[in-house]
Chain A
């Protein structure tokens, strides 16, 4: 083994960049979160105000609304993606012509920029140019206007997210299903188990690690959703699709509420860290079991 000096030289650029663009911003946002600071307010200085911002956030309706909207979105979207993704993965387990082509097409949305997904769905759903509101009106007499109707905007975002991210769930579950051993299924068939029983007692317990990993990865991504929502609705109408990321963006830039915006950032970061920690633990758990 050569000297460790060379190792540190190779590591140094990475550590320096991540320090200046990852660690320092993190420490800085924590520092600012304990201050009252709005450079364009009557008192533009940065004033230390202890935990005042954190006290305020607990009673802040705008923040709580944003948190609620985000949680509702995450639950709806991730749950639907899981169910649809599982059904599609099962449909993929059989042999049929053109399988690899369909797989390729199904993977396509994953490489698309979120902002482009937002723009695609904006063109699909904006009244008067979008095709969805047009035919909803012509065939069913339903008026859909994502600019004025909060439920329509919210559901459009959920459907957009399902369109964008279900393929990831499908593909991870295919990977899990392919690696399953055949024996338990044959055994279950001999014992006369029906489909629901087979799923519940055999398939599910065996794919649980993959499901958990997928759920947490999707949770993490769903928590950081900004671009496509920003493009599609801008957080509106009102604040009905103002997810946490959008909320921070609006609080920090147009309002230049630096101190309080930092506090929201810290709280959102904390929530993400909790989710990530759970993800990490759940990913490690099956590995440990296998070893032990």
Chain B
């Protein structure tokens, strides 16, 4: 086994990679075909791509507003979760509380719960309880930003904890001795040292928020709908606009692919709650 030709192994991996890539390639193929050609014999090679689906999606005001919502919600959520996760980890790392580890483990339970379980209570709480006068959190961007904290905030806390624990306390203490305020210590001593960890957290929480569907589908109606929910709107029992659906999928996929290269090494650690270093 050990002596086997590395060429064969490469060939084997080329095959596996084709299996991985083909479905994504097929998505692209469908997105650059006009509707009339979809039902003919499947072509693997695109001869003259048809960009009509792309111009239609970009020209659709509703879909554009979904895109903006997706961008605002995932960016807002990622920033919020990273900042709060950073504060939380700093507090857990530098202060003594009773039940400190319990708080830490309790946060993760929020992430492990299946989102489907929280659909109804969140829906009811957001329509009836969390309200100020006529303003309810349902179907608002700020509402979705807060809802996504239930899975992204624990994630941020779990990925940032080792980073902050690794920064020697002596640095903080030296700064305090020099008369720095706690806020200064956090922003000017600890924060710069955490930057790489914070960047990874920011990117991964952003992708998770961008990718979310179920909660967005139930907790928004119109104003705050995201691109993933827009995708499902194009799938109906009577007639699906396959080209548009493929194109929206491509648009949803692109940001994830762009950041993929940056965080590739951290994805596995992220998805296993740090149990495995990728």
Report which A residues bind B (CB closer than 8 A).
1-2, 4, 6-8, 10-11, 13-15, 17-18, 20-22, 24-26, 28-29, 32, 88, 91, 94-98, 102, 104-116, 119-124, 126, 128-129, 131, 134-135, 163, 167-168, 171-172, 175-176, 195, 210, 213-214, 217, 220, 223-224, 226-227, 230-231, 244-246, 248-249, 252-253, 258, 261-262, 265-266, 268-269, 272-273, 276, 280, 283
Please state if B213 and A21 are interface contacts (CB–CB under 8 Å): no
The 5 closest A-B pairs by CB, nearest first: A7-B95, A113-B211, A25-B121, A245-B116, A224-B114
* Given A268-B117, A269-B113, 13 more pairs with CB closer than 8 A: A17-B84, A17-B146, A25-B121, A25-B125, A28-B121, A28-B124, A32-B120, A97-B10, A107-B260, A113-B210, A123-B27, A172-B268, A249-B214
Residues of A near B13 (CB, < 8 A) are 91, 96, 98, 102
Q: Whole-angstrom distance between the alpha carbons of A5 and B150 in the complex? A: 25
Q: Whole-angstrom distance between the alpha carbons of A224 and B42 in the complex? A: 34
Q: Whole-angstrom distance between the alpha carbons of A114 and B253 in the complex? A: 11
Q: Whole-angstrom distance between the alpha carbons of A176 and B124 in the complex? A: 44
Which residue of chain A lies nearest to B204 when distances are taken between CB atoms in the complex?
A111
Q: Whole-angstrom distance between the alpha carbons of A110 and B265 in the complex? A: 12
- Given A1-B96, A249-B119, answer yes or no on A227-B213 (Cβ-Cβ < 8 Å): yes
Residue pairs across A and B with Cβ atoms less than 8 A apart, 19 shown, are A2-B95, A14-B157, A18-B149, A25-B121, A25-B122, A28-B121, A109-B20, A119-B27, A119-B235, A119-B245, A120-B24, A131-B42, A172-B278, A226-B214, A227-B228, A245-B214, A262-B121, A272-B112, A276-B112
Please state if A123 and B30 are interface contacts (CB–CB under 8 Å): yes
A-B contact count (CB 8 A): 283
Minimum C-beta distance from B217 to chain A (A): 8
Minimum C-beta distance from A287 to chain B (A): 11
Please state if B17 and A213 are interface contacts (CB–CB under 8 Å): no
Q: Would you give the 0/1 interface string for B234-278, flagging 1 where the beta carbon is closer than 8 Å to chain A?
A: 010000001001100100110011011100100110011101111
Residues of B near A252 (CB, < 8 A) are 119-120
Report which B residues bind A (CB closer than 8 A).
1-2, 4, 6-7, 9-10, 12-14, 16-17, 19-21, 23-24, 26-27, 30, 38-39, 41-42, 84-85, 87-88, 90-92, 94-97, 103, 105-107, 109-110, 112-122, 124-125, 130, 146-147, 149-150, 153-154, 157, 176, 182, 207, 210-214, 218, 228, 231-232, 235, 242, 245-246, 249, 252-253, 256-257, 259-261, 264, 267-268, 271-273, 275-278
Q: Whole-angstrom distance between the alpha carbons of A56 and B153 in the complex? A: 36
Please state if B97 and A120 are interface contacts (CB–CB under 8 Å): no
Q: Whole-angstrom distance between the alpha carbons of A144 and B175 in the complex? A: 68
Please state if B2 and A94 are interface contacts (CB–CB under 8 Å): yes
Q: Whole-angstrom distance between the alpha carbons of A107 and B245 in the complex? A: 24
Please state if B97 and A7 are interface contacts (CB–CB under 8 Å): yes
Q: Whole-angstrom distance between the alpha carbons of A32 and B26 in the complex? A: 45
Residues of A near B150 (CB, < 8 A) are 18, 21-22
